[in-house]
Structures are given as C-alpha cells and as structure tokens.
Chains A and B, each alone.
Chain A
Amino acid sequence: MEDKINQTQKDHGSLLQAIGTQKLVAIIALVVLFLFFWFFGENFAKYSTIISILDSSYYIGFMAIGVTFVIITGGIDLSIGTSCICCSLITGTLFTKAGLPMPVCVVLAVLLGGLFGLANGIMVSVMKLPAFIATLGTMMITRGLGSIVTNTATVTFPQATASGGAFRSLFKLKAPGLPQAGIPTGFILLIILAVAMAVLLNKTRPGRYILSLGSNKEATRLSGVDVMKYETLAFVISGLFAGLAGVSYAAVYSTLMPGTGNGFELDAIAGVVIGGTSLAGGVGSIAGTLIGVFIMAVLKTGLPFIGVQPHYQLLITGFVLVIAVFVDVLNRRKQGKA
C-alpha cells in the first residue's frame, strides 16, 4: 500500500503527467506540421503567411475557447457559428444605418453573444432541454435574425483608415514603419484571453464547479453547489466569445453575408476535441483548445502551398480529428489499466 502511494506521487511529478500525453502529442503535431510546410511548401516560409494563418484562426479560436467551457460541462453549443455572424451583422447594421459609434458596437456585439448564451444556458439548465436541441434552435434563430435585421443585404465594415475602422487594430496593427503585413495584435489578444480563461477554469470557484458538474452533476449538486448557475455560466462564456469572434471576423474579412456562419461551430468544436477536451465532460483545457485550433489553421493555410486541392484539405482535416481523438481514447484505456 505504502509503495503504491509513492508510485502515484511520482506519476504526478513527471512532466508528461503535468502536460498530459495528448496535449504533448498535439504540440508535437503542430510543430511538425508547421516545419513541414515551412520547408516543403512553396512560398510558405514568409512572415505574411504566418499573419494569414493567424488571421484565419482568430474567430475559430475565440469560439473554441468559449465552447470549451460548455463541452467540459458535458454539453454542446451548436449556436456559436451563426451567433458569431449574427452579432456582427446586427451591430454592423447599427453602425452603418443608425450611426452608432464603433466602440459601442463592438461592446454590444460581445454582450449580444452573451445574451444568446444566457438563453441557451437557461434552456439547458433550468428548462432541462437537451443542449443539442436547445442550441440547434438558437443556431436557426440567430441565423434567421441576422437575415431579418439586415434585410438579407451584406454588411461591410469600414476600412482601417476610415472612420470607425480603428477597431481593426485590435486584431492587426498596420502603420508606417511596421511590417507591411502588420502586427498580429489579435494573436496577443487571443493569448491574453486564453490565459485569463485558463485561470478562470483552473483557479477559481466557477471554473472548479464547471469541471465538477461536468464530471458528476448530481454529486456536485449534493455538495451544495448551485449547478444551474454554473451550467448557465458556461453557456454565457461560450456566447460572449462567439460575440467577440464575430468582431474579429468582421475585422479580418470586412464583408459579412447574412445566412452564413453555419459550420464554424463544428470547426471550433473540432479544435476543442483535438486539444484533448472530452465530449463526455469533466476534463479539458484551454491550452489544448488553442493548440487544436492552430493545428487546423496551419493545415488549412498550409495545404494549398503544397498543391493540395480544397476538398482534399477537408478530407485531411477530418482524418486528423479522428486520429487525435483515437490517440486520446487509447491513452485513457492505458491509464485505466495501470
């Protein structure tokens, strides 16, 4: 008995245990992929490529960070993709039609996302709807809402230099004297928020309760924790980040079309899962999510550089997803044995 305790203490100490095997595999995969494209991709090895990888990953990254919380509770949020676009469509319309100042619009977009998240949270935790169905409903509602508010017209956000375009420098700073492709401020924002959310998840009470209720909701309730509140909170966080994702999408792509956004959520969820968060709930990490998102972004940006057609890209990404989860399953099986 004595030596068994010592044994497990040793296990905790090891670096592998601290990072988690799957996360380690994911980090290595990310680096290998990147180096592969760097050396074999034609014209890949440039500063501007890195910028375009980053540009294409912000909105997925924000959504993925948010939805990680929901997935840890054992739930799912399918509405983030369309709600990301919807938030920006609505605030973009307020800017162009009603002349609301842009900073207000940006804050409003994030809050609007939070509101959709709150609705999801209440439906799931209080009204006890299955998360899949509740958020599927919100997905359709937000998609429809975007079209109604814009009257199905596209919304174009102002250029960086135009009035109201300054919000773009939240994600990319362009100025004379700086590199032509700009400084990726969005990446800094992403990392800051990721660290903040990692602290929230692992070091604060709300985070602890979200992990706990994902592991065993009934036991958490019996321990005197208000599980409804914290389950709702997970959805609110997911919604807020979907709103922010919408802002970053507008900053990078300028023009938003009503009716789009479907499928973004699946990219985000795929990133979360590649990063080692279990769909069964109870385990997950923000760092893993970011790595997962960047694996997908590098693949998406890099594959064309080695001459792979778009439909093959999807195929390859699909395989990566399945393999990543399989590695995780294998791992857990081994751990269960030990």
Chain B
Amino acid sequence: MGEVILTMKDIDKSFAGVYALKKAGLELKRGEVHALMGENGAGKSTLMKILTGIYSRDEGIIVFEGQKVQFKNPKEAQDAGIVIVHQELNMMNHLTVAQNIFIGRERMNGRLVDDKKMAEDAAELFRKLNIKIDPKENMGRLTVGRQQMCEIAKAISTEAKVIVFDEPTAALTESEINELFKIIRDLRDKGIGIIYISHRMDEINQITDRVTVMRDGEYVGTLITEECTKDDIIRMMVGRTVYEAPKIISSVPEDAPVVLKVENLNVGRAVKDLSFELHKGEILGFSGLMGAGRTESARAIFGADKKDSGEIFVYGKKVDIRSPKDAVKAGIGYLSEDRKRYGVIVEKSVVVNTTMSSVPQFTRGLFLDNKAEVRTAEKYVKALKTKTPSVHQQVRNLSGGNQQKVVIAKWLTRDCEILIFDEPTRGIDVGAKSEIYTLMNELVKQGKSIIMISSELTEVLRMSDRILVMCEGRKTGEINIDEATQEKIMHAATIRN
C-alpha cells in the first residue's frame, strides 16, 4: 500500500429532501483494494456516483492526488483518472463489443473512427485479461456475465488511477470471479487504487486490504481486513450478527408428491436432454458455471423461450407451455436473474411492479382496486424490509438490492405453486439475504416448491434439499444435501464431454 490518493470526507446528499448520505466518507491508498460495505440502500453506489461526477454533492470535500476536486460529469472524472464499473449494466446493445469499450475515446484515423484498430485493441485487451469474447460481436448478443466482463475491460482500458467496482461479481460465476481477482491483484500491484463493493463476505476476505463500512448513509468505520472477522464487519453493517449455517439434511418427506416433472428438455445448443423432478415442499438447487444452461432451462420451462422438444408435467398432468402466460396458469412463476431486462419496469412505482403479474386479483368489476394494490405492496415492503420512502416511489430510485426485493414481491403476490428463483440474492446484503432465505423456507413450509438457480456455492449448500448440477447444457450430477460438498458440486460442474 502506498500513500493516500483519494479522500472523501463528510459527504452529504439528499434526494428530494430525503437523506441518502450523511457525513459519508472514505480514504483510499495507492495499490490498495478497499472494500466498501453496507446494507442495501446504505448509500454505497450513491457515494461512488458522487465521486465519479454522476451526482453532485450537497456538502463535503473530495481530495484526489492532493487536489480538491469536484467533477461535473463522468468525462471529467475519467479524464482525471477515476472510472467506475457500475452495479447496473450500461451497454449499447446495438454496437459491437469493441465500439462499446472505446465509446467516448474512439481510436481515430484522421477524422474517421477506426473500427478495425478498435477491434484489434479490444482483442489485445481481452487476451491480456484472458477473456474469450469476440470484439466484433454485437453487445446485445452476449450473456449478462460476459457483458459484465466487457464493462470491466472497458474500465481497465482507460489506464485509470482509481477504479471503482460496484458489485462486479453479481453476474459472474466462480471461475470468472477468479479471473477477475487475478486482474484486480494485477492492477493493485501496479499501484492503482481500487474500491470494491460487494455483499459476498468471502470475497472481501480474499481480495481486499481494508474495509470501510457504511450504515444508513453514514460512515461507520474502517478496518484492516486481515485483523477482523466476518462477524466484526457484519456487526458494523447491521448492528447485530447474522448466522448462516448450511443445511445438513433434507426437510422433504420421502413420499412427497412430484409437483413438476421435466422430461428430455432440449433448447438449441444451450440445453440438452434435461430431465428432473421437483417434489412438493422442496428447494431444488441448480448449480453450475455460467453458461451451463440453467437460466436457459428455466426460461424454456417458463415459456419465455421456445423449446425444441421436451415434456413438462405439473402434478402428473402434461402441460403445454408456449408462453409465460401458460406457465403462470399452470402455477409456475419465474424470477429473472436479469431484473433490469425482464424483472421490473423501472419507470413504474413499487406498487405497480408488485401487482403487475396479478392484476386480475386486484380487479373489482371493471376497475382496479388501488387501495388493495397499495395494501399488498406495503405488506411486502414490510415483510422483505424493502428500503423505500413510499410504495409510490419509482423503482428506478431504489438501490440495486431493493429493486431485487420488488421482483420477489411481484411473484409472491402472484402466489404460484412452483417458483423458479434465478439468482435470488444477487446484489442483496447479508441481512436481507437471510430474510430472503427465511422467506423461502417459509414458502416451502406452506407447501410451495422452489427451484433455486444460484452461482454461489455457499447459498446452494445452505438452502437446497437436493442439488442438480449442470455443465454445458447437460445434467452432470444430482446430489442429496446430506452428501453434498463444495468439491462434489465443482467436480460435477466441470464434467465436459
């Protein structure tokens, strides 16, 4: 660690009279990976947006390389050497990967943009970072994880002095995360200051040197990672300890009926001959690396994508699912991994999003019963501890984790028998995570059945009764929880043929 490169002190910020930050701050040294932690809505992203010139601050000072600074827009921050990889993806889907990476700083050939050179430079960059992506591919055709890797590559390519990663691993798999950590260590060794936001405790231990904790928009304290435990950090974040124990034994009775049976499901190149059963009251974990075909399977079962072949039985009865509408009718709900694209309408309020897929429930005669809608939305805001000033707030203005809670509320409102949770706790803090776990456990106790797709092994081991592992579109393992270990899952997740 070198000398201090960046100091943010006593930063205040309010949105429409509501405080998001009160005396927040941070000190970053050269060659340091500095974790910024706090619950959903604590103000981490807001603080970083102020640093990078996206929001203006109300009060406080920022000192960068010994100079007081106040960036008016992202470009100024970027020119000074501060870049951010945002929590939400920011991609131009119609442009190529290379065009995305060099947007705003195109390689020029005289007055003309030099797409060939940019594609070459991007390829070179990817080679250095050990990422396999075609720079000429349209961004919109990549998976979320790969888009995220492009964003990271874009930030690195600016030759910045400070790089902020706002939950970079939320869309990545274990192996991609390892790649990213290698990249980050490399940057650190070059003397770059790195601010790292994540809700995953094990990552904090692995990669960071110091941790700054925020709570409700305020600076709480800074710790040296080596000298503190996970519990110390959590206690500072939420003011109490949260205990996470793995599940040891399945809670599903032997004779529980099969509620969902999928036979020989095929979807293009993504899913090959997938068959499995889901029992009543069971949480079936879907594990595997990114691109293993888990999301594709879920989307096909839900009717969001067309399947090539395969049969689906609900309670032993064959159902013909051609669209999400059919799936919902059959009692299947799907919480998408990519909430921005498929989960919420960000311009609409919490209420509208909560009741969006259950409008008939709220119809009295010809009209919508707005009061009942608001009641329901408020119920789930309370149950899930969603942090929002009111249920009428636009979802756009909620923090990332709280947006995710709105998606969950939407499907809980719909009251489906079978729920597919695709990365349900992505971007959700430890406190809220255990609330969502409790909620899932409650749901299965009520007799609902859950498929949980998750890239976090600890989560899979903690929640599932049974674990199905996929690799390259095939089922490569089915493990009961009493026999499951991380090693067994990882082994099955890498059986290629």
Contacts and interface: CB of A to CB of B under 8 A. Distances in A.
A221 B74 contact: yes
B136 interface: yes
Given A5-B134, A212-B95, A337 B54 contact: no
Interface in A238-272: none
Contacts of A214: 94
Nearest to B96: A12
Interface string A1-31: 1100100110010000000000000000000
A215 B92 contact: yes
B113 A208 contact: yes
A208 B99 contact: yes
B137 A8 contact: yes
Interface string B292-334: 0000000000000010000000000000000000000000000
Contact of A211 (B95, B132, B268): B95
Contacts of A5: 132-134
B291 interface: yes
A204 B134 CA distance: 23
Interface stretch (B57-65, B103-111, B421-429, B446-454): B103-111
B132 A223 contact: no
Contacts of B113: 203-205, 208
Which among A208, A218, A222, A226 has the highest number of chain B CB atoms within 10 Å? Answer: A222
A223 B103 contact: yes
A219 B90 contact: yes
B321 to A, nearest CB: 17
A217 to B, nearest CB: 9
Contacts of A226: 75
Interface string A179-205: 000000000000000000001000111
A209 to B, nearest CB: 8
A105 to B, nearest CB: 31
Which among B54, B111, B112 has the highest number of chain A CB atoms within 10 Å? Answer: B112
Interface in A308-338: 337
Contacts of A2: 132
B289 to A, nearest CB: 11
Nearest to A13: B136
B94 A211 contact: yes
Interface in B61-108: 73-75, 78, 86, 90-95, 99, 103-104, 106, 108
The main secondary structure of chain B at its interface with chain A is loop
Interface residues of A, number: 29
A54 to B, nearest CB: 30
A224 interface: yes
Contact of B103 (A1, A208, A282): A208
Interface in A31-69: none
Contact of B306 (A209, A221, A337): A337
B120 to A, nearest CB: 14
A218 B90 contact: yes
Contacts of B99: 208, 212
A225 B104 contact: yes
A5 B106 CA distance: 24
Nearest to A72: B94
A134 interface: no
Contacts of B54: 222
B134 A222 contact: no
A220 interface: yes
Contacts of B74: 221-224
Nearest to B137: A8
Interface in B130-144: 132-134, 136-137, 141
Contacts of A221: 74
A153 to B, nearest CB: 46
A219 B112 contact: no
A1 B146 CA distance: 12
A204 B111 contact: yes
Contacts of B91: 216, 219
11 contacts: A8-B137, A204-B113, A205-B108, A212-B95, A215-B94, A216-B93, A219-B92, A223-B74, A225-B104, A282-B93, A283-B94
Question: What are the 9 A-B residue pairs with the smallest beta carbon separation, nearest first?
Answer: A224-B75, A219-B90, A282-B94, A215-B92, A215-B94, A203-B112, A224-B104, A223-B104, A223-B103
Given A8-B134, A211-B94, A225-B103, 11 more contacts: A2-B132, A5-B132, A208-B103, A212-B99, A216-B93, A221-B74, A222-B86, A223-B74, A224-B104, A282-B93, A282-B94
